[in-house]
Structure 1
């Protein structure tokens, strides 16, 4: 097996997994919205998936360090096939109600958290095998992620229109099965052997949190991204679907808008992959957040022509492509290898902490102040979240490239 074969396997597995997940993030909210006509119910279902996702991801770190990320990824992807497959099956049998759907999406969230954390923790070892800079590897991973999101979003609109939102999830189950197979066959066990259980689970979890808490740069990233993720979830899960419906359009337009955003982000991520190690991190990071955040909320709030909406989403998507490669490289550089599993899972889980409440937040805003005011308020909050961390002097360490020590600190 060549040195770069595991990276190719991970990229392909992520392509299937992410494209399927993107489909479900459109299909499930549209299913709830079309059957209940309730933004609050739509937000509740989104929360029931994302809350266990965040908790499971945060708690999975010691398990990943002990059992190895490959094993965790395979088990969780395989179990996700069953959980996701229940939705179209029960819908076909006429048994799918909101009370039935809620525990299913809860289980989906519990499985997806560790699966995603495990795949992410494979990146440093795969980069070492391929002997390439972290920015380049994380940039390529980011490009694959954006491309898969584009395909998933574009395909979601078409599949939902043809088969309905519930039955479209059959494709989602298939993608998880393929991802589990590829990880099992194409990715070897990591070079650095899984950690022995020399300390209690709680102690290992605490070690990860302590390291994260003491790193000002990592904590600054976590706080900023957690806030913007809350607002992004409100946008994608409730604000954008409601805007699409109220404007007289269907799921095809919703899928097309998300595909334009994700598709243009592929270009940004590809550029980040090719020149990422030479970019001024803090400047690019800040500019990208400014372009990808407030403008897309504003254009929907003021009812501009549809062409301008698509142009704004394309610019925002392009800018967003630069974010994850930079964030991932900074994180992996600062975390010691023995702590990779628990610190990356903890930090990414914290970044996702507020996402479970994004749908409820968006639904509550629409119910309280109306759609257009909700879009404007959410956009202004996004702008504030982007700029406030820059006031912290410690956050300037974001720019410095460093290599983490081999041992825990």
Structure 2
């Protein structure tokens, strides 16, 4: 289960932060680009079609391939290696994202073609995101950084991307139009691919030194897939986490893809407000993640998880439904971001403690995909319901659903295991250093 540091790096007896820095840098640029696109793409569809339903359909067509492809990519990431998967899929994402503004400028863009391109972006993003997550433990070992600190830095990196991306996206859309945001997204994916290809050593993220020697494409793949599925079915806590995160992800997807852009248009605040709210939430989330990283070994995980989710969820829906002034909206989004900063580090700690390293790609792929299964439907449902009953009733219902989900989940007995360090899985040899990592990007 250990990974030797390659001689080519010349790190014998010395620490080099290049592997961990490369993974974090690639994460930062690709996630920032995705966040820019999350503002630019819905606004582009909304202003060109005027339809909340079509805006939700675009989100559906991007996230459905993301979830489905990611679910079945785990065995390939474990077999081929996450480094190769990461740089190739980032390159594919860059090409598909760049095609949207190019075809629009040539007057060749149709709505079905747009749906096909965003589906390709989603299908490429899923494996790329998974591969970067899987490389974090190996990068920490190669850089001789404690896993707890490395995965805490991963959470901070994601939150920084969630801060910079929406703010930049809102500003770009307001000043230069939504297509500029899509160009920036393509550039970010291209830069991420270059970083992974040049900064990281070959074999990065492998759990063993042995390269695959058999061409068992069918049986080998499905056997690895089944091992991950069997492990996940035997973990009631992880399964319960997936259910809760799946429900809240569905609500968040509808909120981000449809409810916020519609609110910005109807309130007259425009796309800059969407970027500002995302930026404020991201800054607060960075602070929450930093505190969670520093206090990881002292936190009661169950309390941090549920308190963070209660802050991160329902208040955002309810404040937009209340017609409150912008200063109050920003204050609520700041509180929500601070709470969200505690959620993913807790989930990462549980994941790395309970999942053996050689199963990490498969289990993480299945867990993320199940947790994200509702995201494609979130925008689709929100768009259809808003078109039928209006924005405010949907915001109120979404906030109520968030509160109900968290309260019902807290009654389940398996959540008590969250506060126990199991001593299993990836940290079996180092129980004094429970890992912190991001299981899924909950605030999608």
1:84–1:173 contact (8 Å) kept in structure 2: yes
1:229-308 aligned at under 5 Å gives the runs 229-308=249-328
Contact 2:19–2:139 (CA under 8 A) maintained in structure 1 = yes
- Secondary structure (helix, strand or coil) at the match of 1:278 reads coil
Aligned to 1:94, which of 99, 103, 107?
Answer: 107
Unaligned runs of 5+ in 2: 1-8, 10-14, 429-444
- Shift of the 128–90 alpha-carbon distance from structure 1 to 2, 3 Å rule, reads same
Q: CA deviation at 1:191?
A: 5.5
1:36 counterpart residue number? 49
- Does the aligned pair in 2 maintain the 1:138–1:324 contact within 8 Å? no
Contact 2:352–2:426 (CA under 8 A) maintained in structure 1: no
| Structure 1 unmatched ranges of 5 or more | none
Where does residue 336 of structure 1 map in the other structure? Answer: 356
Number of the residue aligned with 2:331: 311
Distance 1:346 1:150 in 2: 27
Q: Deviations over 1:298-333 (max 9, x none)?
A: 111111121111000000001101111111121111
Cα displacement (A) at 1:405: 4.0
**2:85 pairs with 1:65:** no
Give me the CA root mean square deviation. Answer: 1.7
Q: Using the alignment, how far apart are the partners of 2:288 and 2:148 within structure 1?
A: 13
Alpha carbons 1:294, 1:382 under 8 Å: kept: yes
For the pair 1:190 / 2:196, whether they are aligned, the reply is no
Find the counterpart in structure 1 of residue 186 from structure 2.
Answer: 173
Distance in 1, Cα, partners of 2:19 & 2:422 = 25
Q: Mean Cα displacement is larger for which, 271-280 or 126-135?
A: 126-135
How many residue pairs are counted as aligned between the two chains? 408
- 2: distance between equivalents of 1:110 and 1:141? 23
* Contact 1:213/1:219, CA 8 A, preserved across alignment: yes
Q: Which residue of 2 aligns with 1:18?
A: 31
Residue 176 of structure 1 and its aligned partner are, at CA, apart by 0.8
SS in 2 for 1:276: coil
Task: Give the secondary structure class of the aligned counterpart of 2:323.
Answer: coil
8 Å CA contact 2:134–2:205 kept in 1: the answer is: no
CA contact (8 A) 1:73 1:116 kept: yes
Aligned to 1:383: 403
After superposition, give the CA deviation of every residue in 1:76-96 in whole Å (9 maximum; x if it has no partner).
011111111101101111122
Q: Relative to structure 1, is the Cα distance of residues 213 and 164 closer, same or farther in structure 2, using a 3 angstrom cutoff?
A: same
Query: Matched residues in 2 for 1:311 and 1:180: separation?
Result: 36
TM-superposed CA distance for 1:44, in Å, is 0.3
1:207 to 227, 246, 251: 227
For residues 398 and 322 of structure 1, what CA distance do their matches in structure 2 show? 14
Work out the CA distance in 2 between the residues paired with 1:304 and 1:160: 24
Q: How does 1:357-368 map to 2 (within 5 A)?
A: 357-368=377-388
Are 1:136 and 1:272, in contact at CA under 8 Å, matched by a contact in 2? no
- The DSSP-based 3-state class of the residue aligned with 1:279 is coil
Cα deviation, 1:249-293, whole Å, max 9, x if unaligned, reads: 211111111111111111111111222122111111110001111
Indicate conservation of the 8 Å contact 1:217/1:397, yes or no: yes
Instruction: Give 1:129's aligned residue.
Output: 142
Task: Give secondary structure in 2 for the equivalent of 1:166.
Answer: helix
Instruction: State the alpha-carbon separation in 2 of the partners of residues 87 and 366 from structure 1.
Output: 27
Structure with the higher fraction of residues in helix conformation? 1
Whether the 8 Å contact between 2:78 and 2:206 is mirrored in structure 1 is no
Distance in structure 2 (CA, Å) of the matches to 1:120 and 1:381: 30
Q: Distance in 1 between matches of 2:144 and 2:232?
A: 27
Q: C-alpha deviations, 1:147-187, integer Å up to 9, x for none? A: 11211111111111222112321111111111111112222
Q: Distance in 1 between matches of 2:94 and 2:58?
A: 19
TM-score calculated relative to the size of structure 1 = 0.96
Q: Is the 8 A contact 2:354 2:426 kept in 1?
A: no
Q: Is the 8 A contact 1:133 1:277 kept in 2?
A: no
Per-residue CA distance 1:114-166 (angstroms, 9 max, x = gap): 00010111122223334544443222111111111211111111111222112
